[in-house]
Structure 1
Amino acid sequence: MQLLGANVRHYRKLKGLSQERLALDAGMERSYVSDLERGTRNPSVRALGRLAEALGVEPQMLLGTPENGSSI
């Protein structure tokens, strides 16, 4: 889940959000967001959907490699 964590961090930073703000927007604990970004936890489908909604992206964007080929 390293890719998921990198994508969450990438989109979070693009939106200018702190981990705490993202966690609040997604209804999660900040430590959970931190664990996801570090790749030490795997989100449920429900949690993935809440993260995507809070980030304003489609859930599959958090799971896949960037379309432009750049590394995150």
Structure 2
Amino acid sequence: MHLEAIFGKILKSLRIKQELTQDKLAEISTLERTFISMMERGKSQPSLTTIFELAKALKIKPSELVRLIELEFENQTTTRYKKKP
């Protein structure tokens, strides 16, 4: 899975966990709903400013958002390269 898709997966998961619609997240973060949708689908990448805006809207630290992405990326990489017995 590409990094953009992993970011989207994490973003969507956090949004749903907080019971936010894309519209509500857009309103809180001052981003466009269509941009949030594109990020969630892995079609667009966030800037550093966007990561900070999303983290604030999701009430987490930007470093926590990046950490979650990093963990999922490592998990995907480890799983992909594990040797089969």
TM-score tier, shorter chain, comes to 0.7 to 0.9
Q: Structure 2 counterpart of 1:60, which letter?
A: S
Structure 2 unaligned regions, length at least 5: 76-85
What are the residue-to-residue correspondences of 1:27-46 with 2, within 5 Å? 27-46=30-49
- Paired with 1:60 and 1:3, the residues of 2 have a C-alpha distance of 16
Q: Which of 56, 65, 70 is equivalent to 1:64?
A: 70
- Paired with 1:50 and 1:22, the residues of 2 have a C-alpha distance of 10
TM-score between the two structures when normalised by the length of structure 2: 0.72
Question: Considering only aligned residues, what root-mean-square deviation do their CA atoms show, in Å?
Answer: 1.5
1:54 aligns with 2:83: no
SS at 2:8 equivalent: helix
Q: Which of structures 1 and 2 has the bigger CA Rg?
A: 2
Q: Structure 1 counterpart of 2:6, which letter?
A: L
- Paired with 1:10 and 1:64, the residues of 2 have a C-alpha distance of 15
Percent identity of the aligned residues? 30
Q: How far off is 1:41 after superposition?
A: 0.3
Structure 1 unaligned regions, length at least 5: none
Q: Structure 1 counterpart of 2:71, which letter?
A: T
Q: Structure 1 counterpart of 2:12, which letter?
A: R
Q: How far off is 1:50 after superposition?
A: 0.2
- Aligned residues between the structures: 67
TM-score between the two structures when normalised by the length of structure 1: 0.84
Runs of 4+ in 1 over 4 A off after TM superposition: none
